Structure 1
Amino acid sequence: MSLRRTVAAPFRTEGSDRMSESEFVVALSLDRDWFSPDQAKRLVDVAVSEGLLERDGDAVVAGFDHADVTVPEEFAPDESVLQERSTFERVLDAVVETGVEKQDAVAAVNRLQDDLGVTLEAAAVVYARRQGVDVTDLAERARGEL
């Protein structure tokens, strides 16, 4: 996922899983020239909401093992990484990562929503769990949105 790669890049360059938020913003905006400083700050907010970053005072800490993420030399993120994904999109992505075709998953979730009479997010969580995908954190988020 390009958001994960985008967030991992500054940490991989630094060789650390912690850096000041301002260093992170500079790494994305000035060092790599991927975003404006304002866009890089927005990316921090999105990454925090996705659980990829945690704020600790003035620092940001990687919420995943950045060393496990490959960032190809030619990689450049597009602006779509600056948009927060809905709970449904996040659950759907988790299911698709297990090998389920996206169209099949969406169709199954829509049928489940109709059958159960629940929100799209709740149906997606039920579908993911039936597929054996752990979406516990997203289930809590979907529950909070009810």
Structure 2
Amino acid sequence: MSLRVAAAAPFIQNGTTRLEEGEFVVALSLDRDWFSPDQAKRLIDIATREGLLERDGDDLVAGFDPSEVTVPEEFVPDEDILQERSAFERVLDALVADGAEKHEAVGAINALQGDLGVTIEAAAVVYARREGLDVDDIAPIARDAIVEAGTEAEPEER
């Protein structure tokens, strides 16, 4: 998962799990030349929402163990990691990171969605939990998608 790799790189580079936000931005923008400073700040926002980073005052704390992440020498993150991902995409990334084949996971999630009659996000969470993955941080997003889908399906009162 390239967002996790990009978020881990500054911590690995500095041999720590806590960095000042400015140090994190410098590591991504100046040291590695992966992003502009504004893009690095956007990555912080996204990684924070996804639970990869936590804010503690002016510091950023890794919400995972950076030492368990490998940053390949030729790695350069795609700019698409700066875009918000749906709950389905996040669960799918977690499944792939855990060793699942992407096309098999998508097929199983689609089948489960049809069997259960739920949103793709909810089916992805159920599938991931059945596979033993902790997706508790994503489950509320999937629940919100169900509520939103139900609201859209209700006829308007007149």
TM-score, normalised with respect to structure 1: 0.88
**Any gaps of 5 or more consecutive residues in structure 1?**
none
Letter in 2 for 1:26: V
Q: In 2, Cα distance between the equivalents of 1:67 and 1:95? A: 20
User: In structure 1, what residue type is equivalent to 2:103?
Assistant: Q
- Percentage identity across paired residues of the two chains: 70
Structure 2 Cα separation of the partners of residues 79 and 13 of structure 1: 21
Q: What is the match of residue 152 of structure 2?
A: none
How much has 1:101 moved relative to structure 2? 2.4
CA shift digits 1:54-97 (9 cap, x unpaired): 11111111111112222233322121221222111111222233
One-letter code aligned to 2:92: L
> How many residues in Structure 1 have an aligned counterpart in Structure 2?
146
Cα deviation per residue 1:100-125 (whole Å; 9 max; x = unaligned)?
Answer: 32222222222222222211111111
Structure 2 distance, partners of 1:6, 1:140, is 25
Q: State the one-letter code of the partner of 2:44.
A: V
Pick closer, same or farther for the CA change 1:137–1:35 going to 2, 3 Å.
Answer: same
Aligned to 2:56: 56
Deviations 1:119-142 (A, max 9, x none): 111111112222333322222332
Q: Which residue of 1 aligns with 2:139?
A: 139
Q: 1:13 matched to which residue of 2?
A: 13
Change (3 A) 1:17 1:130: closer
Counterpart CA distance in 2 for 1:42 and 1:100 is: 29
Residue 71 of structure 2 corresponds to residue 71 of structure 1: yes
SS in 1 for 2:137: helix
Task: Summarize the alignment of residues 75-86 of structure 1 with structure 2, pairs less than 5 Å apart.
Answer: 75-86=75-86
2:20–2:58 Cα contact (<8 Å) kept? yes
Amino acid at match of 2:45: D
Question: Rg: which structure is higher?
Answer: 2
What is the DSSP-based 3-state SS (H/G/I as helix, E as strand, rest coil) of the residue aligned with 1:99? Answer: coil
Structure-2 residue corresponding to 1:120: 120
Q: Distance in 1 between matches of 2:141 and 2:71?
A: 29
